Structure 1
Amino acid sequence: MTMTDFSTIPVITIDGPTASGKGTIAHRVAQALGWSVLDSGALYRLTALAVLDQGIDPADEQAVARAAGHLDVRFNGEQVWLAGRDVAPLIREERVGNLASQIAAYGSVRQALLTRQQAFRQPPGLVADGRDMGTVVFPDAVLKIFLVADVAARAERRCKQLKGKGFSANLANLMQDMRARDERDRNRANAPLKAAPDAKTIDSSDLSIDETVKAVLDHWSSLGTQA
């Protein structure tokens, strides 16, 4: 039996601020290529939900890290299972997202989730979205995308997304939360949000989902790499 050389499995990373559309784009690109996908943000949101469910003090870094290291998680299409229940809708709530951003600043939490994220690298390839996929988790990725959009466009998208799922949403509050989250993500000491030096930046403010997916796939095709 031949052991898989994981370093030869191609990875496309898609990093960017909250609500830049990276999750949707990552899924569409992975679907187009027939690859698997990693929504790294879901792991941080799942940790945040576990913290809330278990009554853990978010200020207790070691307790939060232990929760991250012992997550009973399973992904199945649109379903996200935590400790035997589908929590996909719950982890998209703003309270969970805001807490996820806070605990993501903890180095011990990021370390606890690092190996779990890297294990998603399976043949024939992986599309990974997050905030430090290209800079920390998969620094050898063959293609790194940094997806940006102005905060007004991102807030409108998130507002529409939340209302479409039956949640109440206030545009002004969302914009305020996003600015605060962007500031926190960019300035944290551990794996701050930034483009890798070799990343291709795509501004999706005025692009449709299809146009953004095409831009990523065009970058992939330009490499002349066989999928």
Structure 2
Amino acid sequence: MKPITIAIDGYAGCGKSTTAKRVAQELGYVFIDTGAMYRAVTLFFLRNDIPFDQVNPQMLEALDQIKVGFTLSPDYPFPLVTVNDEIVEGEIRNPEVSGNVSQVAVHKPVRQAMVAQQQEMGKAGGVVLDGRDIGTVVFPFAELKVFMRADMEVRANRRLAELESKGVEITLDEVIHNLQERDRIDTTREESPLKQAEDARVLDTTLLGIDEQVQQVLEWVREVQTARSAQ
């Protein structure tokens, strides 16, 4: 069957990236972690002392220099994030980046630059993208759109476990605060706010494990492909 574009949006800590990676793996599709791309830009700004409280000439100049990509490694099952060909997968997950990424992603020039790169990566189809504006802005005509959500307590505990597994020392209260602040910024920003596309299928992951999330999305993929083949 002709490959489709799968857009997965939703709140942080709902399992978007893990589900998207697994779905891409099952289908033999390319996985594009758009949230990681904004993290990569944030890391570049932090490393180079580029202010991001508002749009400024330094930011605009830097965006022309940033090329975010993904590379495969025999030691890792999923694509690793790169900035100008440097692997930064580990660094973009640290608390400093996590605490600032929404403030970076809120700016229109940043989003325009990353959306252009995302659209170039996914223009041929056969891709799974996860983020916050995939189904509404990046690929509004994606054949399958999924919007993921979960209760805050569940999201926070998932994120805490993820960070602890990477050796990051942080409390549950700090994680909850970070998630609440990210939700506030993501849903209220003027440029490409987080919202559910009208034709998105809602996946509440509060009571679902990763395997169940993946199987649900794969079931929807089969439904879409069957409907397309019958046309």
Question: Which amino acid is 1:64 matched to?
Answer: M
Q: 1:138 to 1:9 in 2, by over 3 A?
A: farther
- Indicate if the aligned counterparts of 1:18 and 1:178 stay in contact, CA closer than 8 A: yes
- Extract structure 1 runs of 4+ deviating beyond 4 A: none
Deviation, 1:80, is 2.4
Q: Alignment partner for residue 33 of structure 2, among 29, 36, 39?
A: 39
Q: Among residues 23, 31, 42, which one is paired with 1:48 in the alignment? A: 42
Write the mapping of 1:18-37 to structure 2, written as runs, cut at 5 A: 18-37=12-31
Letter in 1 for 2:116: T
2: CA distance, partners of 1:93 / 1:200: 31
Gapped runs of 5+ residues in structure 1?
1-7
Residue 68 of structure 1: aligned partner: 63
Determine whether 1:210 maps to 2:211: yes
How many correspondences in the alignment?
219
Task: Give the partner amino acid of 2:140.
Answer: P
1:68 Cα offset (Å): 3.0
SS at match of 2:69: strand
Please say if residues 9 and 122 of structure 1, whose CA atoms lie closer than 8 Å, have aligned partners that are also in contact.
no
Matches of 1:168 and 1:138 in 2, distance apart? 37
CA distance in 2, matches of 1:172, 1:69: 37
Q: Which moved more, 1:80-89 or 1:144-153?
A: 80-89
Could you say which residue in structure 2 is the equivalent of 1:5? none
Q: What is the CA deviation profile of residues 63-116 of structure 1, one whole-angstrom value per residue up to 9, with x for unaligned ones? A: 324323321433113432324532111101122022111111111111111210
Partners of 2:13 and 2:107 lie apart in 1 by 22
- Alignment partners' CA distance in 2, 1:75 and 1:59: 27
- CA separation of 1:124 and 1:177: change in aligned 2, threshold 3 A: closer
**Partner Cα separation in structure 1 for residue 105 and residue 162 of structure 2:** 23
* Distance in structure 2 (CA, Å) of the matches to 1:98 and 1:68: 20
* C-alpha distance after superposition, 1:31-53 (max 9, x if no partner): 11111011001111011001001
For 1:175, what is the secondary structure of its paired residue? helix
State the AA in 2 paired with 1:67. A
**Whole-Å separation in 2 of the counterparts to 1:221 and 1:14:** 16
What is the CA deviation profile of residues 144-183 of structure 1, one whole-angstrom value per residue up to 9, with x for unaligned ones? 0001111111110111001111111211110011111101
- d(CA) in 1 for partners of 2:80, 2:30: 15
Deviations 1:10-47 (A, max 9, x none): 21000011121101111000011111011001111011
Q: CA 1:28 to 1:108, structure 2 compared with 1: closer, same or farther past 3 Å?
A: same
1:68–1:113 Cα contact (<8 Å) kept? no
Alpha-carbon distance change, 155 to 61 in structure 1, aligned in 2, over 3 angstroms: same
> Higher mean Cα deviation, 55-64 or 145-154?
55-64
TM-score normalised to structure 1 length: 0.91
Q: What amino acid is the match of 2:29?
A: W
User: Please, what TM-score do these two structures have when normalized by structure 2?
Assistant: 0.89
Task: Give the gaps of 5 or more residues in structure 2.
Answer: 73-78
